[in-house]
């Protein structure tokens, strides 16, 4: 394997770690959602919203992992595909909607 030309600014690595941090933030939100669902009365809406939050969290992890792998495999990564950015944002918005259902 040839030694990849290393970017002195470590831009791909920094971007990879930024994705990691973002998945951690999503994890915190998902855990708070589970806590809210467990604390409230176990209504059907609450359980459904909690399950949806779990699935959305998995979806977010999937998008992040795909991007992290893309960033790790090449030394000149392409720009983020808009579809992935949109998918990550839609997961976030959907988590907020589930949160609203849990809180109200």
22 near other proteins, rule: CB under 8 A: yes
3-state secondary structure the chain: CCCCCCCCCCHHHHHHHHHHHHHHHHHHHHHHHHHHHHHCCCCHHHHHHHHHHHHHHHHHHHHHHHHHHHHHHCCCCCCCCHHHHHHHHHHHHHHHHHHHHHHC
7 near other proteins, rule: CB under 8 A: yes
Within 8 A by CB and 6+ apart from 98, the residues are 33, 49, 50, 52, 53, 56
Pick the closer one to other proteins by CB: 48 or 80.
80
* 41-100: contacts with other proteins (CB under 8 A): 76-83, 85-86, 88-89, 92-93, 95-97, 99-100
18 near other proteins, rule: CB under 8 A: yes
- Rounded least distance, CB 47 to other proteins, Å: 16
Of 2, 5, 8, 41, the one binding other proteins by CB under 8 A: 8
- Using CB under 8 A as the criterion, which residues of the chain lie in contact with other proteins when the complex forms? 7-9, 11-12, 14-15, 18-19, 21-22, 25-26, 28-29, 32-33, 35-36, 39, 76-83, 85-86, 88-89, 92-93, 95-97, 99-100, 102-104
């Amino acid at each position: 394997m040839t030694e990849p030309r290393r970017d002195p600014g470590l831009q791909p690595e920094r971007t990879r770690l930024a994705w990691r941090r973002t998945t951690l933030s999503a994890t915190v939100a998902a855990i708070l959602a589970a806590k809210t669902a467990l604390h409230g009365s176990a209504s059907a809406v609450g359980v459904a919203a909690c399950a949806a939050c779990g699935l959305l969290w998995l979806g977010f992890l999937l998008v992040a992992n795909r991007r992290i792998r893309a960033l790790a495999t090449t030394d000149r990564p392409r720009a983020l595909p808009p579809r992935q950015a949109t998918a990550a944002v839609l997961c976030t918005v959907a988590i907020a909607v589930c949160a609203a259902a849990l809180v109200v």
